[in-house]
Structure 1
Amino acid sequence: MTDDGMRRGAALMASGTAVSRVLGLLRGMVMVSAIGATGQAADAFAVANNLPNVLYMLLAGGVLNAILVPQVVRAYKRKAGQEYVDRLLTFGFVVLAGATVVLTLLAPVLVNLYSNFGNPTQDALATTFAYWCIPQLFFYGAYALLGQVLNARGSFGPYMWAPVVNNVVAIVGFGVFIAVFGLWDSSGVTDASTWTGGQIALLAGSATLGVVAQAAVLFPALRRAGVHYRPRWGLRGSGLSTAGGVATWTLLGLTVGQVGYLVGSRVSSAAPAAAVADGVPASAVAGPGAYSVAFLIFMLPHSLVTVSLATALFTRLSGQAHDADVAGVRATLSSGLRVVGVFTVFATAAILVLALPLTRVVLATATAGSADAVSTVVITMILGLPAFGAWSMFQRAYYAYEDARAMVPIQVVMAAVVVVGAWAAQLILRPTLWVAGVGAAMTVSYVVGAWIAQWRLRRRLGGIDGARVLQVIARATLAAVLSAALGFGVLLLLRLWLSTGLVASIIQCAVVGTVMALVYAGILRLLRVKELDNLLLPLLRRLRGGRR
């Protein structure tokens, strides 16, 4: 793929993820309006609705990234390539279906494993939610399988635009919930004991139906890309034994990583009850629901640029790795690290300054105590965004070489950091800060993981253009610090004239965010950071094309 092709692909995906993430924020706002951001119901739904995501990442997500794109890229370079892809898809669908059925039946066990509510009524509500939500696993997997085949065929747009459909369906469903039962503060749904079967079906069913739609819309796109899938059975002679070895190591690494998430989830779910016992109002305590909202904000900038660029670069990395083009891999990785770094450094500075008003916008109907609790978690998480972006790029390099085994020791260390950090937060901090402590542990784990990964890749590739990458990141950091200082000053001035309501928070985010972006871009221009052009050029080209 040429540079222009890669940039066009990244721009198309970025536009899709931008719309999806904006709708994702709207979805989060509607959901919070329906059930709140804190409280028994919000925490129970957060645990249940996160289970399919956790299970997908554990059973399929990383495995698909590790084996599918490299295998498909090679398949389409030889005869009978479509037959290979058909066998891989058939095998994937069957495994996903079997796993989904088994894990749905194990819903009570999974809820008890990933939560520690200490409340039988809340446990029962979370389990019922889980029966509705865990089937999402199959459709997340189908979406990933089909989407990665499309990416390997050079069709990037549908994969990134499909989540838009998911969000629209969920928003409509949550909106109907509000229309029927009212807002959270007047409907009494924050108490787990008040929920009816109809309320559960409407809320959780809407979330699951959105994922179903997200997978279904890829089938027409697959046909347009010239991929005519037909079920084919049998793995002998297909070459999947090599892929299976990669999948085994990837699964092991993800299993290790999930230990950290499991401990963090249990600590988060125990926080509200412990804080209430100390006399703190339940609405002011961060739990799994608050964690989910904070993670949504954390993932917004990552999804806008890092995921889009890394996905486009991954196909190139896979081809270069297959051709033993070490210099090409090194150059592609360097380019990705620099462009991602320029964006994530600024996003970190902007969200740090705007953490509270941004949280108030997302939690439009929540109490001040809920907004404060969530914004504290956002701050501890967002500090790890640049390291998370770098770690994501390093992962793609390992996957391009189909070397998931080399990542396992790194993932062990990262999981250990999260586990120790979460337990330390529970032992040292007051319960209102336990979830923030989990967020801080995640940040440290990303820094440690990225550092170890770059050290090992540098030895493997004969360097990763580290001096150039660090020079760009240093200049970006200087620009971000200066823009943050000015942005914080503007925010203080606005607070003198504006209240703390929703409209005031929107104005603060718009004004301060714009000022910081202009200052940051201006300083990068003065410092001659060319990666800013690589970041903005695809967007500018699309805008100019639209004017014509």
Structure 2
Amino acid sequence: MTDDGTRRGAALMASGTAVSRMLGLLRAMVMASAIGATGQAADAFAVANKLPNVLYMLLAGGVLNAILVPQVVRAYKRKAGQEYVDRLLTLGFAVLAGATVVLTLLAPVLVGLYSNFGNPTQNALATTFAYWCIPQLFFYGVYGLLGQVLNARGSFGPYMWAPAVNNLVAIAGFGLFIAVFGVWKTSGVVDASTWTGGQVALLAGAATLGVVAQAVVLIPALRRAGVHYRPRWGLRGSGLGAAGGVATWTLAGLGVGQLGYLVVSRVASAAPDAAVADGVTGTAVAGPAAYDVAFLIFMLPHSLVTVSLATALFTRLSAQAHDADVAGVRATLSSGLRVVGVFTVFATAAIVVLALPVTRVILATASAGSADAVASVVIAMVLGLPAFGAWSMFQRAYYAYEDARSMVPIQVAMAAVVALGAWASQMLLRPTLWVAGAGAAMTVSYVVGAGIAQWQLRRRLGGIDGARVLQVMARATLAAVVSAAVGFGVLLLLRIWLSTGLMASIIQCAVVGTLMGLAYAAALRLLRVRELDNLLMPVLRRLRGGRR
């Protein structure tokens, strides 16, 4: 794929991801209006609805990145390529179906594993939600399998646009919940003991139906890409045996990573009850639901640029690795690190400055205590955004070489940092800060992971153009400091004139965010950082074309 092709692919994916993430924020707003952002019901649903995501990542998510794209890229260079894809999809669908049935039956065990609720009624509600939500695992898997095949065929857009359908369906369902039962302030659903079967079915059913739609909409796109799937059984001669070793090590790494999240989930679920015991109102304490909202904000800039660009570059990295083009891999990785770094450094500065206004906008109907609790977690998480972006690019390089084994020690170290950090937060901090402490531990883990990965890859590739990458990052950081100073100053002035309501928060985000962006772009120009041009070039070309 050419540079222009990569940029166009990244721009197409970024646009789809941007729409999906914006809808994701709207979904979070509607859901917070329906059941609140903190409290027993919100935390119970957060644990249950996270289970299919966790299980998908553990069972299939990373394996798809590790083996599917490199293998399919090679398969389509052979005459029997489609047969290989058919066998892989058939096996994947069968494994997903079997795992989904078994894990749904184990819902009570999984809820008990990933939560530490002190209230039996809340635990029972979470388990009921889980029976509705865990079947999402199968459809997440179908979405992942079909989407990665589309990516390998050079069709990037549908995979990134499909989550928008998911969010639309969920928003409609949550909106119907509000229409039928009212908002959390008047419906009384904050307390787990008040929930009825109809309320559970409508809320959790809407979430699951959205995931079903996300998978189904990829089927027409697959046909347009020239992929005509036929169920085929049998592994002999398919090449899957060679890929099995990669999958095994990928699963090992993901399993280790989930141990870290398991500790975080248990600490977060225990925080509200512990705070109540200390005399703090439970609905003003960050728990699993607050963690999810904070992580959604954290992931927004990562999804807009890092995931889109890394996915577009991955096919090129895989081809270069297959052709033993070390210089090409090094150049592609360097380009990705620099462009991602320029964006994530600014995103970090902007979100730190605007953490509270952004949170108040998303949680428009939440209490002031809930917004404050979530904002503290957002700041702790987002400080690790640049390192997380670099770690994501390094992962793609390992996957391009089908070397998941080398990442396992790194993932062990990262998981240990997260688990120990979350545990230390529980031991040393007051309950209101437990989830923020876990977010800070995540930030440290990304720094550790990116640091070890770059050291290993530098040895493997004979360098990663480190001096150039560090130079760009240093200049971008300086520009971000200037931008943050402008943002803080303007925000303080606006707070003198404006209240703390929803409209005031929207104005603060719009004005401060715009001025910070302009200040950052100007500083990058003065510092002669050109990576911003590479990032914006597809957009600028479209605008120029529109004028014509």
What is the rounded CA distance, in whole Å, between the counterparts of 1:285 and 1:153 in structure 2? 46
CA deviations 1:49-83 (Å, max 9, x no partner) are 00000000000000011000000000001111000
Displacement of 1:543 in angstroms is: 2.8
Equivalent residue number for residue 473 of structure 1: 473
1:287 lines up with 2:321 in the alignment = no
Which residue identity does 1:310 align to in structure 2? Answer: A
Equivalent residue number for residue 516 of structure 2: 516
TM-score (norm 2): 1.00
Equivalent residue number for residue 500 of structure 2: 500
Equivalent residue number for residue 194 of structure 1: 194
Which residue identity does 2:335 align to in structure 1? Answer: S
Displacement of 1:547 in angstroms is: 4.2
What is the rounded CA distance, in whole Å, between the counterparts of 1:56 and 1:384 in structure 2? 24
Which residue identity does 2:361 align to in structure 1? Answer: V
Equivalent residue number for residue 166 of structure 1: 166
What is the rounded CA distance, in whole Å, between the counterparts of 1:159 and 1:546 in structure 2? 26
1:452 lines up with 2:452 in the alignment = yes
1:419 lines up with 2:414 in the alignment = no
Displacement of 1:540 in angstroms is: 1.6
Equivalent residue number for residue 28 of structure 1: 28
Query: Matches of residues 137-176 of structure 1 in structure 2 within 5 Å?
Result: 137-176=137-176
Which residue identity does 1:120 align to in structure 2? Answer: P
Equivalent residue number for residue 46 of structure 2: 46
Q: Secondary structure at the match of 2:215?
A: helix
Identical counterparts, % of pairs:
88
What is the rounded CA distance, in whole Å, between the counterparts of 2:539 and 2:53 in structure 1? 31
Equivalent residue number for residue 384 of structure 1: 384
Equivalent residue number for residue 111 of structure 1: 111
What is the rounded CA distance, in whole Å, between the counterparts of 2:176 and 2:187 in structure 1? 14
Q: Secondary structure at the match of 2:160?
A: helix
Displacement of 1:545 in angstroms is: 3.2
Equivalent residue number for residue 329 of structure 2: 329
Equivalent residue number for residue 244 of structure 1: 244
Give the count of matched residue pairs: 548
Q: Secondary structure at the match of 1:477?
A: helix
Equivalent residue number for residue 272 of structure 2: 272
CA deviations 1:137-182 (Å, max 9, x no partner) are 1111110110111111111110000001000000000000000000
What is the rounded CA distance, in whole Å, between the counterparts of 2:440 and 2:187 in structure 1? 34
CA deviations 1:336-388 (Å, max 9, x no partner) are 00000000000000000000000000000000000000000000000000000
Which residue identity does 2:39 align to in structure 1? Answer: G
CA deviations 1:237-291 (Å, max 9, x no partner) are 1110111110000000000000000000000000000000111011110000100
Q: Secondary structure at the match of 1:499?
A: coil
What is the rounded CA distance, in whole Å, between the counterparts of 1:546 and 1:179 in structure 2? 41
Change in 2 beyond 3 A, CA 1:536/1:120: same
Q: Secondary structure at the match of 1:421?
A: helix
Q: Secondary structure at the match of 2:190?
A: coil
What is the rounded CA distance, in whole Å, between the counterparts of 2:66 and 2:503 in structure 1? 45
What is the rounded CA distance, in whole Å, between the counterparts of 2:223 and 2:447 in structure 1? 42
Equivalent residue number for residue 77 of structure 2: 77
Which residue identity does 2:195 align to in structure 1? Answer: W
Equivalent residue number for residue 371 of structure 2: 371
What is the rounded CA distance, in whole Å, between the counterparts of 1:29 and 1:282 in structure 2? 20
Displacement of 1:528 in angstroms is: 1.1
Which residue identity does 1:284 align to in structure 2? Answer: A
What is the rounded CA distance, in whole Å, between the counterparts of 2:354 and 2:280 in structure 1? 26
Equivalent residue number for residue 63 of structure 1: 63
Displacement of 1:526 in angstroms is: 1.1
What is the rounded CA distance, in whole Å, between the counterparts of 2:243 and 2:142 in structure 1? 18
Which residue identity does 1:173 align to in structure 2? Answer: G
Q: Secondary structure at the match of 2:58?
A: helix
Which residue identity does 1:489 align to in structure 2? Answer: G
Equivalent residue number for residue 231 of structure 2: 231
Equivalent residue number for residue 10 of structure 1: 10
CA deviations 1:421-471 (Å, max 9, x no partner) are 011000000000000000000000000000000000000000000000000
Equivalent residue number for residue 440 of structure 1: 440
What is the rounded CA distance, in whole Å, between the counterparts of 1:72 and 1:182 in structure 2? 49
Which residue identity does 1:340 align to in structure 2? Answer: V
Equivalent residue number for residue 309 of structure 2: 309
Equivalent residue number for residue 217 of structure 2: 217
What is the rounded CA distance, in whole Å, between the counterparts of 1:547 and 1:172 in structure 2? 37
Which residue identity does 1:148 align to in structure 2? Answer: Q
Query: Matches of residues 81-92 of structure 1 in structure 2 within 5 Å?
Result: 81-92=81-92
What is the rounded CA distance, in whole Å, between the counterparts of 2:544 and 2:151 in structure 1? 26
Q: Secondary structure at the match of 1:162?
A: helix
Displacement of 1:544 in angstroms is: 2.9
What is the rounded CA distance, in whole Å, between the counterparts of 1:546 and 1:372 in structure 2? 43
Which residue identity does 1:72 align to in structure 2? Answer: V
What is the rounded CA distance, in whole Å, between the counterparts of 1:196 and 1:542 in structure 2? 51
Moved more, 374-383 or 534-543: 534-543
What is the rounded CA distance, in whole Å, between the counterparts of 2:547 and 2:94 in structure 1? 47
What is the rounded CA distance, in whole Å, between the counterparts of 2:239 and 2:268 in structure 1? 43
CA deviations 1:162-209 (Å, max 9, x no partner) are 001000000000000000000001100000000000000000000000
Q: Secondary structure at the match of 1:354?
A: helix
Which residue identity does 1:245 align to in structure 2? Answer: G
Equivalent residue number for residue 101 of structure 1: 101
Displacement of 1:546 in angstroms is: 3.9
CA deviations 1:451-509 (Å, max 9, x no partner) are 00000000000000000000000000000000000110000000000000000000000
What is the rounded CA distance, in whole Å, between the counterparts of 1:525 and 1:140 in structure 2? 42
1:406 lines up with 2:442 in the alignment = no
What is the rounded CA distance, in whole Å, between the counterparts of 2:469 and 2:48 in structure 1? 40
What is the rounded CA distance, in whole Å, between the counterparts of 1:491 and 1:64 in structure 2? 44
Task: Compute the RMSD of aligned alpha carbons.
Answer: 0.6
Equivalent residue number for residue 464 of structure 2: 464
Which residue identity does 1:365 align to in structure 2? Answer: T
**Structure 1: 5+ residue runs without aligned partners?**
none
Which residue identity does 1:183 align to in structure 2? Answer: V
